[in-house]
Structure 1
Amino acid sequence: MTATPYTPIANPQVFLLDLYRVAVQRAQPLHSMGQHLPPVPKGRTVVLGAGKAGGSMCQALEALWPQEAPLSGLVVTRYHHIPPRPEGLAQRIELVEAAHPVPDAAGLLAAERMLALTQGLTEDDLVLCLISGGGSALLTLPAEGLDLAEKQRINQALLESGAAIGEMNCVRKHLSRIKGGRLAAACHPARVVTLTISDVPGDDPSIIASGPTVADASTCADALAILQRYQIAVPDAVRAALQAGALETPKPGDARFAGHQVHLIATPQQSLQAAARAAQAAGIAAHILSDEIEGESREVGKVHAALARAVARRDEPFARPCVILSGGETTVTIRPRQPGAAKGRGGRAGEFCLGLAQALQGQEGVWALAADTDGIDGVEDNAGARVAPDTLARAAQNGQRIGDHLDRNDAYGFFEPLGDLVFTGPTNTNVNDFRAILVL
């Protein structure tokens, strides 16, 4: 097979943004949902779901499901994440909005209504569950002994602790009346088919959105250990319930899950592969490190920088020109603020870029982009940020010290004056972190 001739990249940052857009487009649900849809059942078809891709998943299902077949249900998505409705597409599924990443009363109401819709289902009925990242916060129904305010506090503490997504969702499952397989159990005896978009390393359906339709192998003891590890307080009654195993989730082998199916319709690896193909079409060799990278965002950025510097200086382990791609879900541990210090702004992608830029030290020939595929980095309005060979020099001209911004987790404050934040708005999908480093 003849290699595509290399065309010099006129604008590296535009090239990287194009790769990001290709990755996001591959994760849109309409691409592959149709092949996973079951036949129309004898009874009702009820649609339930939660996640940042909920709006686009609803519209894809409404377009693909036979128009003559009844379809109804309820899906909750994040505020401002409902895409424009295509002309002529009738709305058959109710779509509501709630808060993310910290839950609110709207998410609580949606979860209560969703459980109510499971009442009276029969073995002739089909429940189609549309699940994507963000569902853990959007579908909140606190366990006995917890109120919404306590659930919000615990959720915020988990987000700031540096805990991995699997750890956070283990706790969320056991402090919920709907996650950790409980939604599917409530649908019994109806058949449940889950269509999910993965935003977690390893694509484990029991972790995506805290697995509301998937049996859970983790235990109350696991959740309690995580809370202790990160020193997160819970009410005494809840701690006692965890210790007694009273908040246990439905386990693998539970008869209520017999015949249920789970289909991954979009994954981080698929999006990275689509970006790699686009780079190769431009004559740029593409190397996917992994779609499962976890760890502190700034430290992951430093490791990527070491690799990029080796390529730029020695053509090892990859030859130039090339693009290095990776995905996964890194974490940001919020540092204590000094008295009177301003609160930092930014998310995982921005903090990765801070660590990357600091470690690259202005390395010639290296450009990078990191962004969340949902279009929102943390709780800000940007998707991520860019790094160029002159990033540190331009920051120095502004009187900015990158170490100061790292100390207060302030990626937004560092990259905004440089014009290097990436803005896309909500993308209506979510396959987690996208990182691309171009070495010319």
Structure 2
Amino acid sequence: MPIENPRAFLTSLFEAAVRAADPLEAIRAHLPERPKGRTVVIGAGKAASQMAQALESVWDGPLEGVVVARHGPVAACARICVLQAAHPVPDAAGLVGAQALLAEVSGLTPDDLVIALISGGASALLPSPPAGFALADEIALNEALLASGAPISAMNVVRKHVSLIKGGRLAKRAFPARVVSLVVSDVPGDNPAFVGSGPTIPDDADRSDALRAIRDYGMKIPSRLLDHIATADSPRPDDPAFAGHEAHVIASARVSLQAAARLSLEAGVTPLILSDRIEGEARDIGRMHAALAMEFQTGQRPQEGPMVLLSGGETTVTMGLEHADPARRGKGGRNTELLLAAAIDLDGSTGITGLAADTDGIDGSETNAGAFCDGQTAARMRATGCEMRACLARHDAWSAFSASGDLFETGPTGTNVNDFRAFLLL
């Protein structure tokens, strides 16, 4: 059937992707057995309150605990306390939340069960600097990591060495209780130890790997922090404290892209999933998507008729130290930056409409999930006096799309399985 409203169609694909990552159904399918002792819930991330609410609704037995969510609307919970903190820049409320989680898992027994609900954003929501360091040090580290343009995996290797809670340390505090981690993945490759810097899941990366990442990506780490990382040890997966623990990725970008592809087929649109783990500089990935869209639009397609290019993953916006001052930063996030670069290249094209959005409903610094673009987006921006390339240079994509009326707003979705991109070709 013909696609009369490309934006409505792309919105339906985004909604299908988000539904596929619904915490309720995902948690229902991964419930652990009830323990002899207490069931304690801990968690953090952009989907923390929704995951906690879902667990409460399906858990048959006593339940208690604390999760830390981002400031803003949260799902109501009756038995699990929901605290809130800042993201992406940590704040003092995050310190309180991290301490609450550490206290919650202290003094447990082998008969107790800890259910950890982890989703993207947990790393910033749980600042817990080592002895001799303060919140300001974690903020400085966070800014240095963001400015480096390093992939999330490299950032997390560094972060876990400057924390009392990341890299499995929260789970180690729960010993001798068993820990079952239910993870909504927002990282390419879906390694659960990388989601939120793995507060309940250790990995094999050690301080030499952290130092290598700092060197390879030119991270400008303050000297005090660098000295600490050079001597810091992190828990190892073979530590006896983790024996019997389980970790399950209950939702991911791959599953969500497949759901969008199925809906596309039902509408008579041929889907092509490029990848669920695309990384790289957002503007470069935007230009790549534009080039692929134009190639398929003017060249040979897998099948006749409309098609949609789908992809996921987490791109990077390298801010650079010149943008470290908040007063000099533009507005937006990686999805709007990616799409602005694509819109510039798609200027004047026909039959191509793109959507790039964060599945948690919030892209970067503002309240939009992402944006739409088509062959006329650039013209609409020019008509308002917006200088697109200047906006791209200063990482101010939100302002460009706000001027053209192309922002995509959903509000918080209650899940987070990375970015969603769809380019429809008619």
Please tell me the TM-score bracket, short chain as reference.
over 0.9
Opposite residue 257 of structure 2, the aligned amino acid is L
Q: 2:370 aligns with which of 356, 376, 384?
A: 384
- Partners of 1:397 and 1:92 in 2: how far apart? 53
* Sequence identity (%): 51
Q: 2:143 aligns with which of 156, 161, 177?
A: 156
Gaps in structure 1 of 5+ consecutive residues: 1-6
1:320 is displaced (CA, Å) by 3.9
- Partners of 1:379 and 1:396 in 2: how far apart? 24
Equivalence for 2:254: 269
Equivalence for 1:125: 112
- Partners of 2:352 and 2:242 in 1: how far apart? 50
- Partners of 2:164 and 2:305 in 1: how far apart? 52
Equivalence for 2:158: 171
Kept after mapping to 1: 8 A contact 2:45/2:119: yes
1:319 is displaced (CA, Å) by 4.6
- Extract structure 1 runs of 4+ deviating beyond 6 A: none
Deviates more, 1:210-219 or 1:200-209: 210-219
- Partners of 2:270 and 2:45 in 1: how far apart? 34
1:396 is displaced (CA, Å) by 2.1
- Partners of 1:81 and 1:151 in 2: how far apart? 25
Equivalence for 1:438: 424
TM-score (normalised: structure 1) = 0.93
Equivalence for 1:70: 62
- Partners of 2:209 and 2:338 in 1: how far apart? 29
Equivalence for 2:3: 9
1:200 aligns with 2:224: no
- Partners of 1:319 and 1:146 in 2: how far apart? 61
1:257 is displaced (CA, Å) by 0.8
1:412 aligns with 2:406: no
Distance change >3 Å, CA 402–CA 317, structure 1 → 2: farther
Q: 1:46 aligns with which of 7, 21, 40?
A: 40
Deviates more, 1:402-411 or 1:54-63: 402-411
Kept after mapping to 2: 8 A contact 1:164/1:294: yes
Deviates more, 1:110-119 or 1:344-353: 110-119
Equivalence for 1:33: 27
Equivalence for 1:4: none
Aligned Cα RMSD in Å? 1.7
Kept after mapping to 2: 8 A contact 1:103/1:152: yes
Kept after mapping to 2: 8 A contact 1:312/1:320: no
- Partners of 1:216 and 1:144 in 2: how far apart? 22
Kept after mapping to 2: 8 A contact 1:184/1:257: yes
Equivalence for 2:264: 279
**Residue correspondence of structure 1 range 127-142 to structure 2 within 5 A:** 127-142=114-129
Equivalence for 1:239: 226
1:20 aligns with 2:14: yes
1:343 is displaced (CA, Å) by 3.5
Distance change >3 Å, CA 318–CA 230, structure 1 → 2: farther
Equivalence for 1:322: 307
Equivalence for 1:395: 381
Q: SS where residue 332 of structure 2 aligns?
A: coil
Q: SS where residue 369 of structure 1 aligns?
A: strand
Distance change >3 Å, CA 404–CA 20, structure 1 → 2: same
1:254 is displaced (CA, Å) by 1.0
1:211 is displaced (CA, Å) by 0.6
1:65-90 CA-partner distances (Å, limit 9, x unpaired)? 01xx211011001011413x4xxxx6
Q: SS where residue 351 of structure 1 aligns?
A: helix
Q: SS where residue 438 of structure 1 aligns?
A: strand
1:318 is displaced (CA, Å) by 6.1
Kept after mapping to 2: 8 A contact 1:296/1:331: yes
Opposite residue 261 of structure 1, the aligned amino acid is E
Q: SS where residue 33 of structure 1 aligns?
A: helix
Aligned residue pairs total: 423
TM-score (normalised: structure 2) = 0.96
Q: SS where residue 206 of structure 1 aligns?
A: helix
- Partners of 1:431 and 1:218 in 2: how far apart? 23
Equivalence for 1:3: none
Opposite residue 230 of structure 1, the aligned amino acid is G
Q: SS where residue 417 of structure 1 aligns?
A: helix
Q: SS where residue 174 of structure 1 aligns?
A: coil
- Partners of 1:370 and 1:169 in 2: how far apart? 24
Kept after mapping to 2: 8 A contact 1:53/1:81: no
- Partners of 2:420 and 2:37 in 1: how far apart? 41
Kept after mapping to 1: 8 A contact 2:386/2:403: no
1:185 aligns with 2:172: yes
Q: 1:79 aligns with which of 67, 71, 74?
A: 71
Equivalence for 2:341: 355
